[in-house]
Structure 1
Amino acid sequence: MDDSADDETPLLGMDLPETAPQASSGPYRVLARKYRPQTFAELIGQDAMVRTLGNAIARDRLAHAFLMTGVRGVGKTSTARLIAKALNCIGPDGQGGPTIDPCGVCEPCRAITEGRHIDVIEMDAASNTGVDDVREIIEAVRYAAVSARYKIYIIDEVHMLSRNAFNALLKTLEEPPPHVKFLFATTEVNKVPVTVLSRCQRFDLRRITPDMLFAHFSAILQKEGVEAEAPAIWLIANAAEGSVRDGLSILDQAIAHADLDGGGKIGADQVRVMLGLSDRSAIGQLMATILDGDAGGAIDLARAQYALGIEPVAMVRGLMDLTHAITLAKVSRHDDPALAAADRERIGDWAQKLGFAPLNRLWQLLLKGHDEVLRANNPLEHLEMLLLRVIYAASMPDPGELAKLLEKGGVPATPMVAPAAPAAQGDTVAALPVDAPAAETPASALTIAQIHQLLESAGNHQLALQVYDHLQLLQLEPGLIVHAAAPALDGDFARRVGEALLKETGSRWQVRVGEGDARPSLGQMKAAKLADNGARIRELPVVKAALAAFPDARLVEDDDNRHRSNP
């Protein structure tokens, strides 16, 4: 082969691998290319695939087409190049055969590493999508390899090929000449036709775990002679989201950032600022104000973080991450090495105090609010409204909690944290409840509305409906319900209510019919309120004018009111 081949300009679109580190006087190479794996032993996190390939090579049961799929930066193209080296390696003595451990020193190995082997053709499907590009491959596969054992075609991002290009390739892909191997790589395997998938041996490359990334990045930093705090490396490993290339790109940036501002050492605070992550301590303070019901304090903290350059959506993500951490801590599954000891202690304390129900409601509110803040024209305003919604709505006690409190002999008389603004009569506003014992309250504070809610939550829908519509109270005391006779309440009503309350509260209840002036039922009170509202609405000048202009018009109740009046 002509020595001038070493000076040839590489084809556009090819990400050529690099060999040993160059002298410092040469152009800088990013870490993702400098430390591209050159052997299967250096390919981290893909042990199952390497074992399968090794067994196939050892038994001489090689497929004619391989498809590597997985998220970005896990080694798909690197694996294709390693397979090309493994199949064409001839060993240091020139007498070797296919091996899972290519020597890296023979001419085929060095030529493939340097991207100049004439029989290993790389094609970027994103820029070669048509039938004409595939036709060139079909015509070229008929000819034997020039100097290698196999002629290998590596097609990156193969899902970008057009439908006609895929169809043109099918026959050749199913029955290629024995000297040809196809290696495909893609991040979107769902876009590859099943007719192509059925002709390939598929390998799904796994995401790299944070533990593996931490060890890998630590080794690279040691080789580069750069110091870094362990929490900083963990932050980079988590931010990589399973991608080695993404993590190395962040690590490159962190090294440059440390050289300028950190005295040569990568710190966790620098990495957090560089990635635009919200400060953990500030998010912890924000969570504390939410749990304390301090609406004003929460808004002040959010505005202070916004003034420092933290995006509102990053603050929501921080609250979601913290909620997730607290929930995992409740089941002893939270282990984040990037956390400081004080943060671990605070999360553990919240995990002991908060129940699963309020944590789940908090998560759902934040999850919905995240999308709203992300799409908002003014994210800060949406964040402030989200914080108020979380403080005043996330903690409304659910029927299950009410039942537990009734079993203990009491219900909460006041919110755990008083709201900043007065609530309307009959409304309940509270901060997130904790699993601490509630203040004892006489059972006489239990209202007929709470009894109706308790029956409804227990699944006694028909019984709850009878209570709502027809139960007119004469007397309500601990363990005693006296009501007026009603045709809709049959003779079995008292027994069924008593049994249901015994099951839900653990206390015996006497339910009987009495005489006297009874209070209206819940349904009757609702209807009277709606009628009064209707009368007042009809007196409004605009409504009078509308009714005069449209004599057949009538007032109707909205869907929400209808739903509340017919539980």
Structure 2
Amino acid sequence: MPSDTPPADDQDLPPLPEGPGLFGEAPSPAPVMAAPIIAAPAMAEPEAAPYRVLARKYRPTSFADLIGQEALVRTLRNAFAQNRVAHAFMLTGVRGVGKTTTARIIARALNCVGPDGTGGPTADPCGVCAECQAILADRHPDVLELDAASNNGVDNIRELREAVRYRPARARFKVYILDEVHMLSTAAFNALLKTLEEPPPQVKFLFATTEIRKVPATILSRCQRFDLRRVPQETLRAHFAAIAAKEGVAASGEALAMIARAADGSVRDGLSLLDQAIAQVAGAPGGIEAGLVRDMLGLADRSLLFDLLEGCFRGDLPAVLAAMDRGHERGADPGVILADLLELTHTLTRLRAVPALRADPALPEAERVRGVAMAERLSIPLLGRAWQVLLKGITEVAEAPDRRMAAEMVLIRLAHLAELPTPGDLVRRLSEGGAAGAPSPAATPSSALAGGPAGGPAGGLRAMAGGGARLDAAPAPASAPLAQPRNFREVVALASGVRPLLHGHLLFDVHPVSFAPGRIELRQTAQAPRDLAAQLAALLQERTGSRWTIALSNAEGEPTIAEQRSHLAGERLEMARAHPLVQSILLAFPGAEVDAVRDDSLDAYGLPPIPEAPDEGPMDGSMDGPDFAPPDAEPADLDDIPSEDP
């Protein structure tokens, strides 16, 4: 028998009305209440994961992923294998080589418990246990990464000291990673000393810094130090090629080499540049090409750099300026051009100094072909001078209002200096007795690069030697003895060009007392060497073929030749300034000054020539003495003297 009880689903329905309805109709059957239809909310499209830059996406998570740090990895692996892990590590190196990354790997290696939760410290953390996952996600309560740049006060270190007294919340070790630790104040370093020397057994300190010199020695002595090296360019290029392949982007070897060179040993810097290059190609079929990277970095073409440097060494200014115009049209920065020329000069110097480097497989093709050929024709002194000019020019370009004009002026200066002989070549010419303007392969790079004679200002050059005397002709070879000197000034001239140091001392540090053929008496100053007399005697015997006696005296003697020259130059300058014609010129041109007086009648030392003394005259020949009659001469009769009157 059916039950009058409505089904359970109808318990909440209103009761049925009895009798006719309100308008006389039969009551309609109760409506069948359908189950409410609940519309499911529209499924929201999953949000795209935020983009992670390549430097974070491909950050190493194990020692096996670290590149270019083989010594560090080998030491740490052995330390974990022998259970000899230090309580404090100091990781130093340039930016982007993996200091903080290494610290995080060490933190995971110390606290890894393995997939089954029973493992101990290991050099190969599993990466799947709860400890590894929490450290990878930067949410582990016992691994604290602090920025010493913003937590550099003594109060911050005091808080850290209080915290290290407590045991780890869940991990095996409590690990403190202090990045840029050199930013700590002196008081903060001092507050850390005692804790760092005797830390609790469950605490490890990992320090990272780019300025190791700023870290006190007392801190370094309590840490195990690791110097992370710059990653070689070849290693970086292979690493970037592998990452580009994982990202599905084609990249030429030359483009990756440019990025690796610009990274300067920093993996993070290189990955940032690779990220930028990938964004620029935007799915282009050609991928990352060398031209794109060159434009992105503002670099000059390597062939353009060789053209610039060759033009400078040839002294070909039109070619140099034309190459600069081409670089400007391509958007190359003038400062970057000079920096690249500086790097190319360094490469050429290395190739010249160590020829075995020419077989290095990492050498780019342009350097292997044109660079080796240039290095064979250039000398080390010339390349060193080019380095100095470019190094100073980079600073000038950075401070100049117009960088392009400043860079062109630097290259013009380099082109002119390339024609000049080096100081060593000048000394060699003077000592060998050659003409001052004679070209030499080391001093005239234009003849070596262009195959023709140098056209620079080397010809007819007047060199300064010793105390500044002008040498219009080189001295005679030492093998050909000269005539006997007649005065002390001629003795000094014998040392010119042959013994430069002795020549300078004779000019500035010697007071002649007396002079006679075969014997010189002099007084030397405290600046003169003790063996000056011996040096002078040896020189005179070598140049004159006879023995000379050099005696030292305490007498005042005459002024040095340099003092005589200075005194005479001052007198002539005062006379010139007092001349009426000069006075009128100075009045006509306000601000003008008489700087120097040139007198062609003076000798090489700026003194008037010494007149030839008669045979019976004074020994030093410094002045003409009166002619005296011999002692046995008879007195002359005054009547016999002819009168001057006609």
Matched residue, 2:392: 368
2:335 to 283, 294, 313: 313
User: How far apart in 2 are the matches of 1:548 and 1:227?
Assistant: 71
Cα distance in 2 between the residues matched to 1:92 and 1:187: 36
Contact 1:277 1:314 in 2 (8 A): yes
Cross-structure match for 1:545: 587
**How far apart, in 1, do the equivalents of 2:213 and 2:88 lie?**
18
> So what's the TM-score if we normalise by structure 2?
0.65
| SS of corresponding position for 1:265 | coil
Aligned to 1:7: none
SS at match of 1:373: helix
User: What amino acid is the match of 1:354?
Assistant: L
The answer on 1:216 being equivalent to 2:248 is no
Alpha carbons 2:400, 2:406 under 8 Å: kept: yes
- Give yes or no for contact 1:391–1:432 (8 Å, CA) kept in 2: no
Equivalence map 1:151-550=2 (5 Å):
151-259=174-282, 262-330=284-352, 331-332=354-355, 333-334=357-358, 335=360, 337=362, 339-340=364-365, 344-398=368-422, 400-401=424-425, 432-434=446-448, 456=465, 461=466, 468=469, 486-488=486-488, 535=576, 539-540=581-582, 544-545=586-587
Further displaced range: 33-42 or 157-166: 157-166
Answer yes or no: is the 8 Å Cα contact 1:119–1:151 preserved in 2: yes
For structure 2, the 5+ residue unaligned runs are 1-45, 501-541, 546-563, 598-603, 607-646
Q: What is the rounded CA distance, in whole Å, between the counterparts of 1:537 and 1:315 in structure 2?
A: 54
Deviation at 1:83, TM superposition (A): 0.8
For 1:102 and 1:303, the matched residues in 2 are separated by 56
Letter matched to residue 38 of structure 1:
T
Contact in 1 for aligned 2:576/2:582 (Cα 8 Å) = no
Q: Per-residue deviation at 1:57?
A: 2.3
**Is the contact made by 1:293 and 1:430 (CA closer than 8 Å) also made in structure 2?**
no
* 3-state SS of 1:143 partner: coil
Deviation string 1:530-563 (CA, Å, 9 cap, x unpaired) is: 96998599645675439999xxx995659xxxxx
Query: What is the CA distance between 1:416 and its match in structure 2?
Result: 10
Match of 1:112 in 2: 135
Letter in 1 for 2:411: L
Residues 274 and 438 of structure 1: CA distance in aligned 2, closer, same or farther (over 3 Å): closer
1:506 corresponding residue in structure 2 = none
Q: Following the alignment from structure 1 to structure 2, what is the Cα–Cα distance between the partners of residues 324 and 397? A: 20
Q: Is residue 29 from structure 1 mapped to residue 49 from structure 2 by the alignment?
A: no
> Which has the larger Rg?
2
The 3 A distance-change label for structure 1 pair 415 and 135 is same
Counting aligned pairs with the same residue, the percent is: 47
Offset of residue 339 of structure 1: 3.3
Q: Where does residue 126 of structure 1 map in the other structure?
A: 149
The CA RMSD measured in Å over matched residues stands at 4.6
| Residues 377 and 153 of structure 1: CA distance in aligned 2, closer, same or farther (over 3 Å) | same
Contact 2:62–2:125, Cα closer than 8 Å, also in 1: yes
- Unmatched 5+ residue regions in structure 1? 1-22, 418-428, 502-508, 513-522, 559-563
How far, CA to CA, are the matches of 2:297 and 2:590 in structure 1?
A: 64
The C-alpha deviation readout for 1:85-133, integer Å capped at 9, x for no partner, is 1111111221111111111111111111111212112222222222333
Moved more, 82-91 or 49-58: 49-58
Q: Give the aligned partner of residue 644 of structure 2.
A: none
Q: 1:49·1:203 contact (CA, 8 Å) conserved in 2?
A: yes
2:241, 2:256 within 8 Å by CA — same for their partners in 1? Answer: yes
User: Whole-Å Cα distance in 1 between the matches of residues 595 and 383 of structure 2?
Assistant: 38
Q: Where do residues 134-149 of structure 1 align in structure 2 (5 Å cutoff)?
A: 134-149=157-172
Q: Match for 1:346: what amino acid?
A: R
Higher relative contact order structure (alpha carbons within 8 Å, sequence separation ≥ 6): 1
| Counterpart amino acid of residue 172 in structure 2 | R
Number of residues of Structure 1 aligned to a counterpart in Structure 2? 487
Q: Is the 8 A contact 1:232 1:338 kept in 2?
A: no
1:325 to partner: Cα distance: 2.5
Question: Relative to structure 2, which stretch is displaced further, 31-40 or 327-336?
Answer: 327-336
- Structure 1 residue 318, shift from structure 2 partner: 2.5
Q: What is the identity, as a one-letter code, of the residue corresponding to 2:209?
A: T
Distance 1:533 1:337, change over 3 A: farther
Cα gap change, 1:175 to 1:542, in 2 (>3 Å):
farther
Equivalent position of 1:17 in the other structure: none
Residue pair 1:232, 1:271 contacting (<8 A) in 2 also: yes
Compared CA separation, residues 93 and 305, structure 1 to 2 (3 A): same
Shift of the alpha carbon at 1:52? 2.2
- Name the SS of the counterpart of 1:122 in structure 2: strand
Structure with more of its chain in helix, by fraction: 1
Q: Which string of whole-angstrom CA distances, capped at 9 and with x for unpartnered residues, describes residues 209-249 of structure 1?
A: 11221221122122222211111111111111111111111
Residues 482 and 544 in structure 2, CA contact (< 8 A), matched pair in contact too: yes
- Secondary structure of the residue that 1:434 maps to in structure 2? helix
Residues 268, 160 of structure 1: CA spacing in aligned structure 2 closer, same or farther, 3 A cutoff? same
